Amino acid sequence: MSTSSSTPKLGQHWLKDPKILQTIADYADISSDDFVIEIGPGLGTLTSKLLKSGAEVLAVEYDPDLAKNLIGSFPNKPTLKVQNSDIRTFNFTELKPGYKLVTNLPYYISGIFFRILIDTENKPSVAVVLVQQEVAQKMAESPELGSSNKLAMLAAYYYRTELGIKVSAKSFSPPPKVTSQVIILTPREEPLFPQLNFKDYSRFVKFAFSSPRKTLENNFAAGLHLPKSDISELLKPLDLNLETRAEQLNMEQWSELFDILSKLK
């Protein structure tokens, strides 16, 4: 593989620590039978670890120069395919079912990326994602753990989340101003709250978190266009404090709330 440096674009920081790169690849438990998509391969440091498994690897790179250089960095690797594409418009439905996804994700695209993972019908069998530590820890929140936020709740419908290793800034070139962390997403066998389809679930979650500083009662009154007194009556079975916010609900309360909301016309 070429060891030449490149000027980072679009906020990209190149991970250079070989042990950490191998650890990230190992989280995906890749074998020669797997199909792996890597997003934002950059200089190919993680790509080289993925290719060691013998798996077929599709590296999707937004920058045309980096994509071209990556092809030249692995001249004798027929299992590697490089595609110069924008992941925001990439067609995941064309990927082999059960594919694995591994990425050192550019910070600026993390929110969009997780929404893509949630929305795509062809979900990976595992997604191993290195992102800003704050983002990883927010994404790992779940009603099962007693804390939540809007994006993590949407992901939790389909995925179990688990935090992996933290990666210090000095492991990158150039070093970012923050610590990074791996988050691993694995699809659930059935949705976390099967009493609602995802469309309705997503709608109610967005209502609940529409104004994070406002109470659950206020947010649902605004979202459902109902008087607060009606919402108060609706939420009565949950036995909540009037000041309760969505992020404070536990798994049992969320489940009961969705049972109630599923019966609304």
Residue 114: per-residue pLDDT? 97
- DSSP string for 77-107: -TTEEEEE--GGG--GGGSPTT-EEEEE--G
Q: Give every CB contact of residue 145 below 8 A, 6+ residues apart in sequence.
A: none
Are residues 47 and 157 located together in one domain of the fold?
Answer: yes
Which pair of tokens denotes residue 56? 């077929």
Q: What is the pTM of this model?
A: 0.92
Instruction: Say what the pLDDT of residue 264 is.
Output: 83
Q: Using one digit for the tens of pLDDT, what is the confidence trace for 61-95?
A: 999 999 999 999 999 899 999 999 999 999 999 99
Q: Residue 48 in 3-state DSSP?
A: helix
For 241-265, the pLDDT digits (tens) are: 889 999 999 999 999 999 999 988 5
Are residues 73 and 110 located together in one domain of the fold?
A: yes
Reported as a pLDDT band with limits 50, 70 and 90, residue 5 is very low
In a domain, 192, yes or no: no
Mean pLDDT throughout 42-66?
96
Q: Which domain holds residue 209?
A: 198-262
The count of domains in the chain is: 2
Between 228-235 and 216-224, two packed helices, what is the crossing angle to 10 degrees? 120
Q: Where does the chain have alpha helices with state H?
A: 18-27, 45-51, 64-73, 110-119, 133-139, 150-158, 198-208, 216-224, 228-235, 251-262
Same-domain pairing of 47 and 168: yes
Is residue 100 one of the residues assigned to a domain?
yes
Count of C-beta atoms within a 10 Å radius of residue 81: 13
